[in-house]
Amino acid sequence: MRRHFRAAGLILLGLAVLSVAVIVPLGALQATGVTEFNRWVGWATIAALPVAAVGLVLLVWEKFARSLGRSEMSGAAAEDELAALVLAQGQVTRSRLIGTDEVGDQAANVRFVKGSGRFREVGGASEGGLLSVLEYYQSLSPGRMVVLGEPGAGKTVLALELIIRLLEQRKPEEGAPVPVLVSAAAYDTTAPWDEWLATHLARQFSIGTQVAARLVRDGQILPVLDGLDEMGPPGDAERARTLVMALNSYMRGRERAAVVVTCRFEEYQALGKNIDRATHIEMIPLTGYEAAAYLSDQLIGEQEGHLWEPVLADLRANPHGLLASQLATPWRLTLALTVFRDLGDPVELLPGPALTPTADQYAQRVDRLLLSRYVSAKVRLHTREGGYTRDQVQRWLIALAAGLDWQARHGGSGTDIQLDRWWRTIGRRVPQLAHVVMVAALGVPWLVIATVGHQPSLAITGAAFLAFAILAGFPSRPARLKVGHLTSRRFVMRLPLWLIGGLVFGLLDAIPWGRPVGLAGPLVAGFTMTLVAALLIGMLDSSPQTVGPRDVIRADGRTGLAFGLVFGLVVGLVFGLAGGSGLLYGLAVGVTFGLAATLSSGAFVWTRYHIGVVIGAVRGSGPISFGAFLDWAQQAGLLRSSGIAYQFRHKQLQDWLAQFA
């Protein structure tokens, strides 16, 4: 039956095409004047529309019937695909966080203890570690855990280890929830938590919003929120408190829903609110023995081992001394390995025998020593992949850190570099004005020709671009085309309004043309253009096509290109044939209308992104190949990706660079 529906739809659509391709040329050949030619075009188009509509209805119905037949499987299939995708992403992210870029390498075996104080008792042993985090979490009831620790203590690595181990032992038939790493800073505090989570998953992993909402509703998603302390500028914890209250109201039946949260210890204490019914664990700093053991495993060759021997000896001899306190976290160990693997002598890390510094003085010296050299080391170690200079990379990273600081001060994420929104950080008004002027400029040639040639109809055509310019002034979300949206109730309910609007547009369009053209041509023009616009807009989807940060822009650009080509072609044919103004004129109108539609609405995000990139390149705050640079920085270990956003490799690196902005 489905094959019959598809075949019938294709046949009728073929008849629609043939009716235009055959009737129009035959009628045109026999026409004796412009009026008769337009009559043939008008009647052929009118005849083709109902046939095409019937074919479209059959195809949409076939699509709808097929989706109904497999609706029960779509949720489970999406869940399994999501689990596989999260596992693959988690393994890559983990390998980059531990600084090796190899999936199988081991991170430092950080340990944790169960927190004490005013946290409610909900289970969990007194201590655990990276290798036992899965068993520790599975012993909790409910599955709510807060990971606290100092900067660089390994909170994110511990969370990723938990996600990977949960997914490795997950069996689809058992219906275990899928753990997903979510940036806490991305949370929109104006939206209900469960609704925002579903929308975020749909955007991040390109699954249907309804499917994502069902997974969240049924408890099939375990949100692992990373960076509760990164939700606002220092000293402003309002957004973080809002999220804590939302998580305390996040229910699964009569119990609090499972959730894992990471946060710096001091910032969590300053909130004044705790995540209820959660086990709180605190990361333990590495001892000198543990740091020395990890460094020994990571050293390459005898020469590197010889250089590091004085450092290793000090760590073993003074396991709680000044040096051990500065290399007590996985992040600091990664920093030290990277910096001195590139250039210099690790002996510089030693406190020195002459004047023993205080703990604060020594910490500041080590910060300067490691953080000031980290970018340079990464650039030199990855020269072949990028070809960027140290000064360029340093300047562009400082601009990124300043942009994140701007976002945090304006109620946005202080850690997520999301390309579809990044243009706001360079000055909201400048890109907006440039966008409006760019689109409005497309109508200038028509106005000039109309003035010189005294053709009012061309003036109206030029003025139509003002509508596109107005659209360009209002922000829009990234989009892609999705045929399945044509079966939605929302589209079916709105379609009659679109068609009525098309008829009204056709009647108004007949006024400037006058009686030589008549009513049929403009009426068909308005109806056809509106129908095509309705179909295109009905297929727009607000989720990215794939899950990479740059894919959001690419999907929006492809959508805009399709939108512009189809819309421009239809407008060109209608104006050139049904409008009676000639094919050359119609194609000229179609090209400019299609371009205006693409830039103003079809590829709005793509256009704004590139406008922002150009402005940033002119100012020197970023390269013209902005996306390629971000990918290089991710490969080099300066940035990392989190779903559809880039982030700095570590917040400490971001804060260090931000002070130079």
Residue 355 scores a pLDDT above 70 = no
- What pLDDT is recorded for position 404? 94
- What pLDDT is recorded for position 564? 77
Residue 2 scores a pLDDT above 50 = no
Most confident listed range (62-66, 152-156, 342-346): 152-156
**The two structure tokens encoding residue 124:** 């969990």
Residue 517 scores a pLDDT above 70 = no
Q: Which residue has the higher pLDDT, 70 or 216?
A: 216
Q: What is the mean pLDDT of residues 359-368?
A: 88
Q: What is the mean pLDDT of residues 99-121?
A: 68
pLDDT digits (tens, 9 = 90+) for 254-270: 889 999 999 999 999 99
CA atoms within 13 A on the CB side of 534: 21
- What pLDDT is recorded for position 98? 77
- What pLDDT is recorded for position 59? 44
Most confident listed range (53-67, 406-420, 437-451): 406-420
Amino acid type, 331: W
Q: Where residue 54 falls among pLDDT bands split at 50, 70, 90?
A: very low
Strand partners, 646: 417, 641
Residue 317 scores a pLDDT above 60 = yes
CB 113 within 8 A of CB 145: no
Residue 405 scores a pLDDT above 90 = yes
Q: Which residue has the higher pLDDT, 94 or 227?
A: 227
Amino acid type, 626: F
**The two structure tokens encoding residue 445:** 């040639």
- What pLDDT is recorded for position 412? 84
Residue 103 scores a pLDDT above 60 = no
Helix (H, G, I), strand (E, B) or coil at 393: helix
**The two structure tokens encoding residue 577:** 């044939």
**The two structure tokens encoding residue 138:** 């599975």
Q: Which segments within 525-649 are labelled E, that is strand?
A: 540-541, 639-642, 645-648
Which of 608, 611, 637, 156 shows the shortest CA–CA distance to 397?
637
Residue 97 scores a pLDDT above 70 = yes
Mean pLDDT of the chain, nearest integer = 78
CA of 412: how far to CAs of 243, 383, 408, 417, 425, in Å?
A: 14, 33, 5, 11, 11
Q: Give the Cα separation of 65 and 53 in Å (integer).
A: 18
Residue 312 scores a pLDDT above 90 = yes
Q: Which residue has the higher pLDDT, 4 or 584?
A: 584
Q: Where residue 298 falls among pLDDT bands split at 50, 70, 90?
A: confident
- 33 by Cβ neighbours in 10 Å (0-12 / 13-18 / 19+) ranks as exposed
Residue 601 scores a pLDDT above 90 = no
Q: Which residue has the higher pLDDT, 43 or 626?
A: 626
Residue 625 scores a pLDDT above 90 = yes
pLDDT digits (tens, 9 = 90+) for 82-93: 888 888 888 888
**The two structure tokens encoding residue 178:** 């899928």
Q: What is the mean pLDDT of residues 205-217?
A: 84
CB 241 within 8 A of CB 269: no
Most confident listed range (123-137, 371-385, 561-575): 123-137
CA of 347: how far to CAs of 289, 304, 323, 352, 377, in Å?
A: 18, 12, 11, 9, 17
Strand partners, 255: 252
Residue 499 scores a pLDDT above 70 = no
- What pLDDT is recorded for position 656? 94
Residue 323 scores a pLDDT above 60 = yes
3 state SS for 541-552? ECCCCCCCCCHH
pLDDT digits (tens, 9 = 90+) for 267-291: 999 998 889 999 999 999 999 999 9
Q: Give the Cα separation of 306 and 345 in Å (integer).
A: 10
pLDDT digits (tens, 9 = 90+) for 465-492: 788 888 888 887 776 656 555 556 666 6
- What pLDDT is recorded for position 595? 86
Q: Which residue has the higher pLDDT, 323 or 555?
A: 323
Helix (H, G, I), strand (E, B) or coil at 348: helix
219: DSSP letter? T
Q: Give the Cα separation of 465 and 637 in Å (integer).
A: 46
Residue 532 scores a pLDDT above 80 = no
- What pLDDT is recorded for position 145? 95
Q: Give the Cα separation of 288 and 315 in Å (integer).
A: 5
- What pLDDT is recorded for position 524? 58
Query: Locate tokens 């983990």: which residue?
Result: 94
- What pLDDT is recorded for position 630? 95
Which of 261, 181, 245 shows the shortest CA–CA distance to 644?
181
Q: Where residue 381 falls among pLDDT bands split at 50, 70, 90?
A: confident
- Specify the range with the lowest mean pLDDT, choosing from 267-281, 446-460, 597-611: 446-460
Q: Find the helix or strand (DSSP H, E) in which 259 lies.
A: strand 259-264
- Specify the range with the lowest mean pLDDT, choosing from 51-65, 437-451, 598-612: 51-65
Strand partners, 182: 225
- What pLDDT is recorded for position 132? 92
- What pLDDT is recorded for position 557? 86
417: DSSP letter? B
Q: Give every strand in the sheet of 178-183, ordered side by side.
A: 127-129, 111-114, 279-284, 144-149, 259-264, 221-226, 178-183
Q: Give the Cα separation of 80 and 239 in Å (integer).
A: 33
CB 652 within 8 A of CB 151: yes
Per-residue exposure over 400-438, b if at least 16 CB sit within 10 Å of its own CB, e if not: bbbbbbbbbeeebbbbbbbbbbbbbbbeeeebbebbbeb
CB 184 within 8 A of CB 230: yes
Residue 512 scores a pLDDT above 70 = no
DSSP codes joined into one string, 144-169? EEEEEESTTSSHHHHHHHHHHHHHHT
What is the tally of helices (H) and strands (E) in the chain?
28, 13
Measure CA 509 to chain center: 41
Predicted TM-score (pTM) of the model is: 0.76
- What pLDDT is recorded for position 510? 52
CB 226 within 8 A of CB 212: no
- Specify the range with the lowest mean pLDDT, choosing from 62-66, 152-156, 425-429: 62-66
**The two structure tokens encoding residue 381:** 């170690």
Which of 151, 594, 213, 233 shows the shortest CA–CA distance to 411?
233
CA of 200: how far to CAs of 105, 204, 410, 431, in Å?
A: 31, 6, 20, 26
**The two structure tokens encoding residue 179:** 């753990």
- Specify the range with the lowest mean pLDDT, choosing from 171-180, 237-246, 317-326, 528-537: 528-537
CB 604 within 8 A of CB 556: yes
Work out the percent of the chain whose per-residue pLDDT is above 70.
Answer: 70
Residues 6+ apart with CB under 8 A from 417: 400, 403, 404, 549, 630, 639, 645, 646, 647
- What pLDDT is recorded for position 29? 46
Residue 45 scores a pLDDT above 60 = no
